[in-house]
Chains A and B, each alone.
Chain A
């Protein structure tokens, strides 16, 4: 678990917010609204985009050429967000996303980055030992599959388009979206049929 904030940090936050309010910089209502808005984004959005790409070739092409436009097509506002790039997994290539410098993450379509994504161990090891990291999620790639690790940055965010698992023939997009999780969209795990 992420450690709870220290008492001095709670005090600093209280002083900071009080001072910002006193200067008219922010209001409590704005803070609450922003939290509500941020809470709304979740990996379900990314999962929906992946499922649509699996069932709609034109959308798949859009997703791979312009992830931000594909997100907008799913009703997500990307205004003011860095561009979203989407990495296509193939039979011979698997992608893993990390932000080695901090925590850059396509928050508009995946929500808050999880604690592990921001951890020193993930950031350090994803690029040096990606298969070892994947193994911690129980993910073992077939022999011969190349792993490409992509660094998300403050200026460009990445998401993975995993391969559609066998056994899902004839499924509609809604059913497909239900088997896609955040782990698949970051690349630490592979979607499978339940």
Chain B
């Protein structure tokens, strides 16, 4: 249990979060769609090529502001994270990703 004076947990740290205590788990068994599979493959390839580690990707996912974190889909969060990371590392330029 969290101590009363402890700082609130980070956005992604959902273990035990009370606001979801009455939310049923959506029984969705569908595999990822084409978008998700493509993002997933890119994530693996960038890792294999030594351009990114899982911890770097986590840092970028966990830095997404809370409102967006919950509004974005799972693989949308991943895409945001890995594309931002490639710009941060100078692999791509910011302009490559949009105006």
> A interface vs B, CB < 8 Å?
1-6, 9-13, 15-20, 22-23, 25-26, 30-31, 34-35, 38-39, 80, 98, 100-103, 111-112, 114-116, 118-129, 133, 136, 151, 154
Within the complex, what minimum Cβ distance (angstroms) separates A181 from chain B? 10
The majority secondary structure among interface residues of chain B is helix
Which single member of B30, B54, B92, B97 contacts A2 (CB below 8 Å)?
A: B30
Within the complex, what minimum Cβ distance (angstroms) separates A4 from chain B? 7
Within the complex, what minimum Cβ distance (angstroms) separates B97 from chain A? 5
Give the docked Cα–Cα distance between A118 and B61 (Å).
14
B28 contacts A by Cβ under 8 Å? yes
Give the docked Cα–Cα distance between A9 and B82 (Å).
13
19 A-B pairs in the complex with CB atoms less than 8 angstroms apart? A5-B36, A12-B97, A16-B42, A16-B83, A19-B96, A20-B42, A22-B96, A26-B46, A30-B45, A31-B41, A38-B37, A102-B61, A115-B28, A115-B29, A116-B28, A119-B28, A123-B14, A123-B20, A125-B25
Q: Are B23 and A5 in contact (CB under 8 A)?
A: no
Give the docked Cα–Cα distance between A19 and B28 (Å).
33
Q: Which residues of A contact B49 (CB under 8 A)?
A: 25-26
Within the complex, what minimum Cβ distance (angstroms) separates A116 from chain B? 5
Give the docked Cα–Cα distance between A112 and B33 (Å).
11
Within the complex, what minimum Cβ distance (angstroms) separates B37 from chain A? 5
Q: Are B13 and A13 in contact (CB under 8 A)?
A: no
Closest to A181 in B: B29
Within the complex, what minimum Cβ distance (angstroms) separates B32 from chain A? 6
Q: Are B41 and A103 in contact (CB under 8 A)?
A: no
B51 contacts A by Cβ under 8 Å? yes
